Amino acid sequence: MTLRSKLIGILLLLAVFALLAADCRTAFAQGKTGKSAKTNAVDQTAAKPDKVLVTFVEIGSVNCIPCKAMQPIMKEVEEEYKGQVKIVFHDVWTSQGKKDALKYNIRVIPTQVFLDKDGKEYFRHEGYYPKEDVVRVLKMQGVN
């Protein structure tokens, strides 16, 4: 990776953090929690699935290089473990995604958050996460 690529990546991350911090300050100043009806609907779905053992929440951006590298992994996991694993993606560079990033206390993108069948977080990883590691985390909750 060239120095220029690294600098661009760092600048992009700083921009995301600045946007998240500004959004957070606004929410606290207005006395809001940052949760929306859509976010609550996702929480309820994750908390009472029929066969879903794990909800795999990916927080990133479609414009982030490591996040783009996670997209094929998420697709493969969704296909291979259909019915057992629910995949949710939040783009932090959208207004709703910023709220979701605050909800999950995201510091770095991409971040993977794994929720059990009751919607409780049981594992989290920051940065690119290889498929074999994702599968290992899924198997912690009985996914096969």
Full-model pTM: 0.66
**pLDDT digit string (tens) for the chain, length 144 residues:** 776 666 565 655 555 444 444 443 333 333 333 333 333 434 444 444 458 999 999 999 999 999 999 999 999 999 999 999 999 999 999 999 999 999 999 999 999 999 999 999 999 999 999 999 999 999 999 999
Residue 106 placed within a domain:
yes
- The pLDDT value recorded for residue 52 is 96
Q: What is the CATH number of the domain that holds 87?
A: 3.40.30.10
Measured distance CA(15)–CA(38) in Å, rounded: 25
Residue 67 belongs to a domain:
yes
Spatial distance between the Cα atoms of 24 and 104, rounded to a whole number of angstroms: 13
In a domain, 133, yes or no: yes
Structural domain includes residue 54: yes
Domain total for the chain? 1
In terms of Cβ atoms closer than 10 Å to its own Cβ (0-12, 13-18, 19+), residue 40 is: exposed
Its domain, for residue 128, covers 3-139
pLDDT given for residue 35 in this prediction: 37
With respect to residue 144, please indicate whether it lies within any of the assigned structural domains.
no
